[in-house]
Structure 1
Amino acid sequence: MAGNAQNAKPRPQKTKKRSRRPDFLALGGIDVFFLLLVIAILTIGLVMLFSASYTYAFYNKKGDSTYFFKRQLIFAVVGVICMLLISKLRYDYLKILAVPGLIVSWGLLVIVLILPASFGEFHRWINLGFFTFQPSEIAKLAIILFCAYEMDRNHKKIVGKSINRSKFADGVKELSGGHIVVYNSFLQLLFYALVITVTAGLVYLENHLSGTILILAIGVIMMYLGEIKRHWFVLIAVIAAVAIIIFVLNPQLLEKYAGARITAWLDKSYDPKGARWQTNNSLYAIGSGGLFGTGLGNSKQKHLYVSEPQNDFIFAIVCEELGFIRAVGIILLYVLLVWRGVVIGLKAKDRFGAMLAMGIVFQVGLQTALNIGVVTDTLPNTGISLPFFSYGGTSLMMLLVEMGIVLSVSRYSRVEK
């Protein structure tokens, strides 16, 4: 028995097969602080949306006070799921969507112009019956993605490294791999400026001035992150300053809607029951809130004074109900979100990821600043939503998709290279 035991061949041990992670999945853990900031802002936004909208919904949605809140909550839940799923994917796979995404966004912006005006004179939404979406929201992400991809791919040409500087070669274009490769930094600037201007121009034709400004500003930020020669930004600043002065002094040069809004901003007595109505009541709401607010749900201005308080002017209701101190606290959350996104971008494993993360959070920060500027009458009322607060399914979904992309970048920044 003992001999048989000694002569017995040892049984080969079964080795556990390690499951191989699919290539399209990201490694590492997400930036928890950034995620918590997103959830915090989103939660406060949903609470304030319900508070701001229930009176308007009761009178305009057949007595259903929770109409806007229920719909926004559905988009929020779906958006958070999408955010978490996207955070698990490798963000560099988005490169294949850069050019097609821009072309699709242009197509949608053209389609919305062909369709009948969805609200008054505005061509901003495409109605699919069960769902309405705003192509300009898609265009914002498309511009960020396209610029991040192309500027990363052409970085050496942008900064002027390893380039033949002969007179013949200077300024030459060549078609390579289906993409435009430009050997001169000025032509690089023109190429990206053309793409950004075409996108902004299509948005402007929708009677969407704030969206136009936002697209242009995002484009300039992306060119800065892409290290376009700094002296060209002096030229951009001069052109922008001259354009602003011309249009402010001569608002009639703009299309009728935008011109009237600028006139109302300059002349505080202009059309108090029309173009100035929202702004005036917004200022009343902010002043009524004082330091500590009237209390959640106790706004008076939302009772059909601030028209559609769940949209662009929701921050006025925030100030009225929560007060100046808590409103500043909410602004601080946005500042922290932008700061953390920049940190994620600086730690990214490549330039593409860095430009994606920083471009997205700068877009959120810029849109927030523009909205607060409009609500406080610091800027003309051009119609711009407050991220995570204002009612709008397309806007909220796109924001949460963008947050998922930033979280995906953060996974790679937490993995040792």
Structure 2
Amino acid sequence: MAIPPPASDDQASTPREDGSRLAAFQARMFLGKTRRRESGTYFLVLGTTLFLVAIGLVMVLSSSAITSFASGDSGFFGAFLRQGTFALIGVPLMLVISRFPISFWKKWAWHFLGAGILLQLLVFVPGIGISSYGNQNWIRLGPLTGQPSEFLKLGLIVWMGFILWRKQDRLRDWKHALIPVFPAAVLAIGLVVLGADLGTGIIMFAIFMSALYFANVRMRILAIPLIFGALAVAAMTVLSPNRVARILNFAGDSCDASTDISGLCWQPLHGLWAIANGGVLGVGLGNSKAKWLWLPAAENDYIFAIIGEELGMVGAIVVILLYLVLTFALIRVMRNARDLFGTVVTGSILVWIVGQAFVNIGVVIGLLPVLGVPLPLLSSGGTALVSCLLGIGVVLSIARDSNHKPEDDALNDTLGARSWAPRVPA
């Protein structure tokens, strides 16, 4: 190797110049570390979510066009324009909060739960709370209406993840495993059920149970809230004649369109007829007959029936596969999470979005009685869409955190090796 000639006096660098070059080199190295590439799991979650939102916008436009025109709501595009506006709000918010560090969610966990409970209490304030389809779970603030229970779900999830993370070494004791998460969950779910929205209450209870499960709480401890929840659901069902009638119609298969023109059987029957009319390939996008005021809530709880009618069995299977892909991606985030907080929060959001999706689909195809829960990321409803996108944003934040190397985070010096064994699907 040739040795370069010594530098001349005017070419020789001074110590100050050497120090400047070293500082610039270190700065470039630091910037290179902070601009690390996101993982494939991150993009899988993001891409699947955006694909589902895009399908939802198309189907909301198709399924709501007739009802929007009939109600004089901005012609054929009223519901679609509202849903598109909330998508334009929710997607950027999702991307913004995906950049937040995990420490942000832990620091503000109590505030998120408190804000969710305060919003839910507004449904009982005269002049603010409004009733829809017999449920007192909506609020109106000026020109805006929303369902606070959707944001309460996310606040409860982040808070439970934080509490269980802080107590991870004491969760084998039933007192630490259930207090304070069980009383807080009872309060949050109770406020929702008090507004007669049992379907959302059941979803929130499933979220609560999944948080304990993924925190590796003992099964005999999980049996305590499970028995309590089952008894509570049974009592609230028996005390409601409408719910009893729904269960009897579902269990007895007594729905008859010739005798039940506008009763409890109308919606599930027309939903099944819409799917049957679609066949394998569907009648074509925009050609649904059920959306011509035959199927109630065609753009909301029963949008999957319109998907089956217009896009056929093929389109319905594609939607189901997208939820399965999202499930796979979220499980990967759970497995790669660096602490119990990431595992619990991601698992709870998985149960919330994917679990609620399959409950909705089960209702539409007749496997479950009518519960009145929307299809996440697809159904019309700005509050539900934005809250789901915020939940995915938290998952993306956890996915980014799991992509960091241990030496990039000084907190690892205090956290040390994992002392917990997450209960995550293989």
Q: TM-score range by the shorter chain?
A: 0.7 to 0.9
SS in 1 for 2:282: coil
**CA pair 231-303 structure 1, distance change in 2 beyond 3 A:** same
**Matching residue's letter, 2:192:** V
Partner of 1:127: 140
Structure 1 Cα separation of the partners of residues 185 and 369 of structure 2: 23
Deviation of 1:232 after TM superposition, in Å, equals: 2.1
Instruction: Provide the aligned length of Structure 1 versus Structure 2.
Output: 384
Residue in 1 that maps onto 2:88: 77
Report the equivalent of 2:152.
Answer: 139
Deviation digits for residues 288-331 of structure 1 (CA, Å, limit 9, x no counterpart)? 11121111111101100012311110000001111112201210
1:404 maps to 2:389? no
Gaps of 5+ in 2: 1-7, 407-426
Moved more, 366-375 or 28-37: 28-37
Write the distance in 2 (CA, Å) between the matches of 1:8 and 1:345.
56
Shift of 1:190: 5.0
Letter of the aligned partner of 1:132 in structure 2? T
Candidates 354, 364, 370, aligned match of 1:365: 354
Q: Which amino acid aligns with 2:38?
A: G
Tell me the residue number matched to 2:178.
189
Give the conservation status (yes or no) of the 8 Å contact 1:258–1:382: no
Q: Structure 1 residues 63, 154: closer, same or farther in 2, change over 3 A? A: closer
| TM-score normalised per structure 2 | 0.83
Question: Percent identical across equivalent pairs?
Answer: 31
> Conserved in 2, the CA contact under 8 Å of 1:102 and 1:142?
yes
Query: Using the alignment, how far apart are the partners of 2:316 and 2:191 within structure 1?
Result: 34
1:18 aligns with one of 10, 13, 27 = 27
Give the root-mean-square deviation of aligned CA atoms: 2.6
1:279 positional shift: 1.1
1:28, 1:415 within 8 Å by CA — same for their partners in 2?
no
Instruction: Check conservation: 1:28, 1:412, Cα contact below 8 A.
Output: no
Q: Does structure 2 conserve the Cα–Cα contact (< 8 Å) formed by 1:56 and 1:308?
A: no
**Who is 1:331 aligned against?**
320
Paired residue type of 1:274 = G
Give the secondary structure class of the aligned counterpart of 2:131. coil
Residues 1:258 and 2:243 are matched in the alignment: yes
1 CA distance for matches of 2:198 and 2:156? Answer: 17
Q: Read off the aligned partner of 1:292 and give its amino acid letter.
A: L
- Describe how 1:200-211 pairs up with structure 2 within 5 A: 200-211=189-200
Q: 1:92 Cα shift?
A: 2.5
Q: Is the 8 A contact 2:255 2:269 kept in 1?
A: no
> Could you tell me how far apart the structure 2 residues matched to 1:262 and 1:381 are?
8
- Deviation of 1:416 after TM superposition, in Å, equals 2.0
Distance 1:339 1:155 in 2: 25
> So what's the TM-score if we normalise by structure 1?
0.85
Mean Cα deviation higher: 185-194 or 277-286: 185-194
What is the one-letter code of the residue matched to 1:6? D
Q: Secondary structure at the match of 1:156?
A: coil
Instruction: Report if aligned partners of 2:94, 2:390 keep a CA contact under 8 Å in 1.
Output: yes
- 1:307 aligns to what SS in structure 2? coil
Instruction: Kindly indicate whether residue 15 of structure 2 is the aligned counterpart of residue 6 of structure 1.
Output: no
CA distance 1:296–1:9, shift in 2 (3 Å): closer
> Which of 43, 68, 78 is the aligned partner of 1:57?
68
Q: Secondary structure at the match of 1:124?
A: strand
Contact 2:98/2:396 (CA < 8 Å) preserved in 1?
yes
Bigger mean CA offset, 333-342 vs 407-416: 407-416
